Amino acid sequence: MFLTVSTHLAPHNEGAYVMYYDRNFGKTVPKKTHLINSSLASQAVGPPGSNFEMTCDGKPFKTMAKKMLRLVPLGLQEVHPNDSALGSLSAYPHKGLRTDYRTLIRDAFHEEYWMSPRHDEDGYTQIEQNFSLFWGLAIQMYESTLVSLGHSKFEKGGRPNTSRATRCANLQQFWRSKCRTLYWLSRRSGIYPSDSTPNRQC
């Protein structure tokens, strides 16, 4: 269950609400939102405000939104014009996309969650206040495209279509770069057998 504001899954989180535009009264009102089967979205809203995983230590999503909504999406990299998902928006040969995050949000979400131009007492608009909702669901939808639905060689009990040397080199790279979390996840997910330690198979 996704509560839109944190990684906590319990529905009794009092701060778990979004700002919804009530057309009858012409203003935004708090609205509880419990989205089932959305644990990926709950997980996604944790790292940005964590000083362990990312750099926005302690910053609320609405503060991050103020900055991000002014930025060019993927503004530090080139997007290939033939990219299957973003090619039509590519600014190639320039970096980034020919759009902005505000437009992407408006295209993807119902207007009741972003349409109000009014600012709250702290100076935040509705789209900024609901940024954790947009962030979490967007990442969840992207991650859902990575699911192979049981058709990968790993899930069928086969081996990766790479040489043993390549597989071992990848494991060694995980270990040298101290990516122990990724290494542990690769073992738990079945990508590599439980005894695939860098020393035992390499």
pLDDT score recorded for residue 60: 85
Are 40 and 140 contacting, i.e. CB atoms less than 8 angstroms apart?
yes
Helix (H, G, I), strand (E, B) or coil at 141: helix
- Is 60 exceeded by the pLDDT of residue 33? yes
pLDDT score recorded for residue 8: 47
Q: Does 142 or 194 have the greater pLDDT score? A: 142
Dump pLDDT digits (tens) for 89-145: 999 999 999 999 999 999 999 999 999 989 999 999 999 999 999 999 999 888 888
Are 127 and 117 contacting, i.e. CB atoms less than 8 angstroms apart?
no
Q: Does 197 or 94 have the greater pLDDT score? A: 94
All residues at 6 or more sequence positions from 18 whose CB lies less than 8 Å from its CB, including other chains:
4, 30, 31, 33, 113, 129, 130, 133
